[in-house]
Amino acid sequence: MNERIKEKLEILSDAAKYDVSCASSGSKRKNTKGGMGNSTGMGICHTYTQDGRCVSLLKILLTNYCIFDCAYCVSRKSNDVKRAAFTVKEVVDLTINFYQRNYIEGLFLSSGIFKNPDYTMERLVRIAKELRTIHKFNGYIHLKTIPGASEELMQQAGLYADRLSVNIEMPSELSLKKVAPEKDFKSVLEPMSYLKEKIIENKTERKKSKKAPLFSPGGQSTQLVIGASPEKDLQILTLADDLYKQKSLKRVYYSGYIPISDDNRLPAIIQPPLIRENRLYQADWLMRFYGFDLKDIVNETHPDLDLALDPKAAFALRNPAIFPVNINKADYHTILRVPGIGVKSAKKIISARKFGALREGHLRKLGLVWKRAKYFITCADRDFKFLNLKPAVIRAQIGSSILNKAANSNQLSLFA
């Protein structure tokens, strides 16, 4: 690698680190004869797939030149940073060379906007197209679509990328206009609607003919910056819930705001809100995989998530009438509401109890987090009375260690 390309890579990979919306789950693009790479059972770097695998990624910007002046963005036009831009050929060559050296398993490509949205988007599409058609690259490709780009370019992007994403960034139109006056919700939501319809159409075509080309098989995603605006968690999760239901998004990513300037449009904070970011991911997980409604997690009375407790434990302590849950009689969805019991352990419980009443010893072997679940369940040999312990006592016992651990680590987990 020559020094000029190396310098560009240092600048544009560093600028790309603020975009967290990178995951490869959902795509099953297989390798073809004479091709290279595949995204079946594989993914992209320093992120995690739905089954917990850590995968490798070439994550870069095409350029950090930008015509916009978004206050939260390190690449904004008023920021005094070193600028660089790759050519289409340079990105293609980097991807192929890195893949052949087993450094990466795919490409996550975003960009600042130079000249206009179509000019930028056309180059992103050309990179994906050359990788797929000329180099027969079948590894994972995630493209950031540029708000304002034409539907024709979005259509082409979907044919070559495994996942597309359009970042909303701010949780409300008012906050977006304050920190990014050139942007609006319409320019983001309209592309989402277009991509939703094209993905649905493609699935219908694929049912009729397996030879129909794939269109963004990994779906679409977006990112919300947390802590740069005054919205409550209720407003943030309401937006996310609407995006899942109305736009069929695969994922909404939450990025704790990292101070990158002294712009007076943004709050002055000492450190990113990492614990809050983690709680939002946990709440998001409950809505998507555990059958929780938005109102179960946040509402007008409790508009913000509890930083000391995971959302499921907070729900349990606010609803003592539901607990304790009888593990040997409750249905699957009720068992899923118990803190410390995840999807896998709930299924194991339903299966195991067919052969006899479950006892504490059995439950400890089924993968649930006993130190948390024990306050909210009964079983054959444990007739625990929930109200014998005050919620404040339970909160202290299951919440303090979590908060202390989170405060001392950036590796915050999504626990059941």
Tokens read off for 96? 């192929």
Supply 201's token pair.
Answer: 């159409």
Weakest mean pLDDT among 10-19, 199-208, 256-265, 399-408: 399-408
For all residues of the chain together, what is the average pLDDT?
86
Q: DSSP state, 211?
A: T
Residue ranges, CATH 3.20.20.70, the chain: 3-272
CA 15, CA 249: separation in Å to the nearest integer? 25
Choose among 155, 159, 143, 132: nearest CA to 31.
132
The predicted pLDDT at position 389 comes to 62
Rounded to two decimals, the pTM is 0.86
Q: pLDDT tens-digit profile of 244-268?
A: 999 999 999 999 988 877 778 888 8
**What average pLDDT does range 356-383 have in this prediction?**
90
List 220's β-bridge partners, or say none: 164
pLDDT of residue 347: 96
Q: What is the number of other CB atoms lying within 10 angstroms of the CB of residue 380?
A: 17
Q: State the pLDDT at residue 288.
A: 95
Cα(360)–Cα(31) distance, integer angstroms? 47
Cβ-contact 201, 159 below 8 angstroms: no
pLDDT tens digit sequence for 150-192: 999 999 999 999 999 999 999 999 999 999 888 899 999 999 9
Length of the chain: 416
Q: What is the pLDDT of residue 339?
A: 95
**Helices and strands of the chain, counted as H and E runs:** 15, 10
Among 43-52, 98-107, 376-385, the range scoring the smallest mean pLDDT is 43-52
Q: What is the pLDDT of residue 241?
A: 97
Superfamily per CATH, domain 3-272: Aldolase class I (3.20.20.70)
- Nearest partner of 46 among 20, 75, 64, judged by Cα: 20
